[in-house]
């Protein structure tokens, strides 16, 4: 009897695995010989360039100091580290031997030219919603880049995730194919923005929380997530932004990385802004329209609340004519871990009202998402490392304080800043997050 039960179970397992394997199996798509770049239509290439900027492709497919699109960028996930692949048209190490059909399959189905499953760190759960014509334009753009010979790095994943078929199982559970369906109740700009955000822009990859298997929780879309140890703020009704996001504010922020009601982009968002700065303005406006609508569409009411938040934040910003007068009146406890004294000595020379700093444009801290966020991690990373422009680019500078301040002092400073500038409850566990942030920033 027992033997019979076991054999039935084994049979079921074999049939199930066979079915799964048959479902998961993809044939190789024959390699093609690269054609001369001049055969591609320049207008299509330009369209592909714009879409690739919106998709921030260059970020994960370029390693620090490396050549664009040649791969090697480490993407850290809870499951291990994966490395962006070489997507230059080099026939041996890049995608030079990929046909347009092979490229489409990778974007839509997460399967490479040879039929291997790709791990979802490559966000094909979003790209699957992109229109074929857009994917083809990106293909034309990539195929006209300079080929770079650079071997791909194998992902560092633990068993059983190191077996590529694990990615097929993930796809069975979570990959929902199909092109984006416009919402007829919304206008064209909103639909364009929704299309870009949900497909190539893959905004939810960071701004939506993920489940234990690393898939976005679709019922918690845009509820805030984690990106490379940064907290990606909620963009839906649970947004903690002191000033609500209007379409105009979102446009300023997405286009320039700065908005008067929200301040600077930092962390991984700066790379997104670098891409959007090169995208067509109408597409960035469309994205802003859609993103702002996630937290409500009454922009007039939002503007009024934003102005009220700005006024309240200004009142909390130390209003001083001379720093000396503030130094004489604040943080006189003499305690080395007095957050107020540290703030006045280390921060207030820029973060005060009437500050005229040529190279920085600090926002009133009451508006800062890093300070209003449920997680202190972003603020701690900014205190440690500061804010810096990209190499050889113009931009704003905030110095880092990783060497000037001890851990206890940074914890005290973060606590003071939260209590003084935000109405939100005090943070707990700042010290644990600081230890993590020091490790991540190598400081």
Partner 1 sequence: MTTITVNGKPHQVDAAPSTPLLYVLRNDLKLNGAKFGCGLGQCGACTVLVDRQPVYSCVTPISVLEGRQVTTLEGLGTPDNPGPVQRAFIAEQAAQCGYCIPGMVMRAQALIEHKPRASESEIRDYMAPSLCRCGTHMRILRAIRRAMKDMRTASVEGAR
Q: Are 34 and 89 contacting, i.e. CB atoms less than 8 angstroms apart?
A: yes
CB of 55 to partner 1, least distance (A): 29
With vertex at residue 101, the alpha carbon angle to CA 99 and CA 106, rounded to the nearest 5 degrees, is: 100
CB of 231 to partner 1, least distance (A): 25
* CA 289 – CA 270 distance, rounded (Å): 20
- How many residues line the site for partner 1 (CB under 8 A)? 33
* CA 440 – CA 443 distance, rounded (Å): 8
Nearer to partner 1, 50 or 414 (CB): 414
Binding to partner 1 by residue 409, rule CB under 8 A? yes
CB of 431 to partner 1, least distance (A): 17
331 Cβ partners below 8 Å, 6+ apart? 338, 339, 340, 341, 342, 343, 344, 345
Instruction: Supply the DSSP string of 79-122, one letter for each residue.
Output: TEEEE----SS-TTTSSTT--HHHHHHHHHHSB-TTSPBPPTTS
CB of 404 to partner 1, least distance (A): 4
Nearer to partner 1, 93 or 337 (CB): 337
Q: At what angle do helices 281-293 and 247-256 cross, to 10 degrees?
A: 130
Binding to partner 1 by residue 326, rule CB under 8 A? yes
Nearer to partner 1, 151 or 359 (CB): 359
Binding to partner 1 by residue 330, rule CB under 8 A? yes
Nearer to partner 1, 187 or 333 (CB): 333
CA 29 vs CA 81, 99, 112, 117, 159: distances in Å: 28, 8, 9, 13, 28
CA 221 vs CA 165, 198, 237: distances in Å: 27, 11, 10
- The binder of partner 1 chosen from 37, 226, 260, 360 (CB under 8 A): 360
Give burial (CB, 10 Å; 0-12/13-18/19+) of 196: buried
* CA 84 – CA 153 distance, rounded (Å): 8
158 Cβ partners below 8 Å, 6+ apart? 79, 80
* CA 54 – CA 45 distance, rounded (Å): 14
Give burial (CB, 10 Å; 0-12/13-18/19+) of 266: buried
Stretch that binds partner 1, among 47-55, 247-255, 311-319, 324-332 (CB under 8 A): 324-332
CA gyration radius for the chain? 25
CB of 255 to partner 1, least distance (A): 25
CB of 66 to partner 1, least distance (A): 13
Binding to partner 1 by residue 149, rule CB under 8 A? no
CA 391 vs CA 65, 134, 228: distances in Å: 10, 31, 20
CB of 418 to partner 1, least distance (A): 19
CA 336 vs CA 156, 342, 412, 435: distances in Å: 43, 9, 10, 20
Nearer to partner 1, 239 or 409 (CB): 409
Nearer to partner 1, 28 or 407 (CB): 407
Nearer to partner 1, 276 or 341 (CB): 341
Nearer to partner 1, 238 or 402 (CB): 402
Binding to partner 1 by residue 321, rule CB under 8 A? no
CA 361 vs CA 118, 283, 348, 355: distances in Å: 42, 26, 13, 9
- The binder of partner 1 chosen from 334, 354, 429, 442 (CB under 8 A): 334
Residue with tokens 């005090």: 426
Nearer to partner 1, 111 or 340 (CB): 340
Binding to partner 1 by residue 88, rule CB under 8 A? no
Residue ranges in 339-358 that form contacts with partner 1 under rule CB under 8 A: 340-347, 349-350, 357
* CA 165 – CA 158 distance, rounded (Å): 14
* CA 279 – CA 255 distance, rounded (Å): 9
Pairing type for strands 156-157 and 80-83 reads antiparallel
CB of 390 to partner 1, least distance (A): 12
CB of 346 to partner 1, least distance (A): 5
Binding to partner 1 by residue 256, rule CB under 8 A? no
CB of 387 to partner 1, least distance (A): 11
Stretch that binds partner 1, among 10-18, 75-83, 196-204, 327-335 (CB under 8 A): 327-335
CB of 272 to partner 1, least distance (A): 24
Binding to partner 1 by residue 320, rule CB under 8 A? no
Binding to partner 1 by residue 187, rule CB under 8 A? no
Binding mask 377-406 for partner 1 (x = CB under 8 A): --------------------xxx-x-xxxx
Binding site residues, partner 1, CB under 8 A: 326-328, 330-336, 338, 340-347, 349-350, 357, 359-360, 397-399, 401, 403-406, 409
């Amino acid at each position: 009897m027992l033997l019979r039960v076991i054999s039935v179970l084994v049979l079921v397992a074999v049939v199930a695995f066979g079915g799964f394997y048959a479902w998961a199996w993809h044939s190789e798509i024959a390699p093609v010989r690269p054609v001369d770049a001049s055969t591609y239509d320049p207008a299509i290439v330009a369209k592909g360039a714009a879409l690739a900027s919106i998709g921030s492709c260059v970020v994960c497919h370029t390693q620090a100091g490396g050549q664009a699109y040649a791969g090697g960028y480490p993407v850290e996930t809870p499951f291990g580290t994966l490395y962006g692949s070489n997507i230059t048209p080099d026939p041996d190490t890049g995608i030079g031997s990929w046909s347009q059909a092979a490229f489409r399959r990778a974007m839509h189905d997460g399967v490479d030219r040879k039929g291997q499953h790709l791990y979802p760190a490559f966000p094909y759960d979003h790209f699957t919603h992109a229109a074929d014509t857009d994917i083809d334009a990106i293909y034309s753009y990539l195929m006209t880049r300079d080929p770079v010979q650079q071997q791909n790095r194998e992902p560092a994943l633990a068993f059983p995730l190191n077996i590529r078929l694990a990615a097929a199982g993930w796809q069975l559970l979570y990959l929902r194919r199909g092109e984006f369906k416009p919402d007829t109740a919304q206008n064209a700009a909103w639909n364009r923005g929704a299309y870009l955000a949900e497909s190539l822009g893959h905004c939810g990859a960071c701004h939506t929380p993920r489940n234990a298997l690393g898939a976005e929780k679709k019922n918690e879309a845009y509820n805030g997530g984690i990106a490379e140890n940064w907290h990606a703020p909620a963009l839906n009704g649970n947004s903690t932004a002191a000033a609500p996001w209007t379409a105009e504010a979102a446009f300023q922020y997405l286009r320039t990385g700065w908005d008067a009601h929200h301040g600077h982009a930092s962390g991984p968002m700066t790379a997104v802004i670098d891409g959007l700065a090169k995208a067509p303005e109408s597409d960035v406006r469309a994205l802003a329209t859609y993103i702002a609508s996630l937290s409500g569409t009454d922009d007039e009411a939002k503007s009024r609340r934003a102005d009220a938040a700005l006024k309240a934040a200004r009142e909390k910003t130390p209003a001083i004519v001379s720093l000396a007068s503030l130094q004489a009146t604040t943080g006189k406890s003499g305690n080395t871990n007095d957050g107020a004294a540290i703030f006045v000595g280390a921060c207030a020379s820029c973060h005060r009202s009437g500050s005229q700093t040529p190279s920085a444009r600090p926002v009133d801290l009451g508006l800062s998402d890093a300070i209003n966020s449920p997680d202190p991690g972003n603020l701690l990373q900014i205190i440690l490392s500061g804010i810096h422009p990209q190499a050889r680019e113009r931009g704003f500078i905030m110095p880092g304080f990783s060497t000037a301040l001890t851990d206890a002092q940074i914890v005290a400073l973060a606590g003071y800043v939260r209590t003084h500038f935000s109405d939100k409850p005090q943070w707990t566990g700042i010290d644990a997050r600081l230890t993590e942030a020091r490790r991540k920033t190598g400081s």
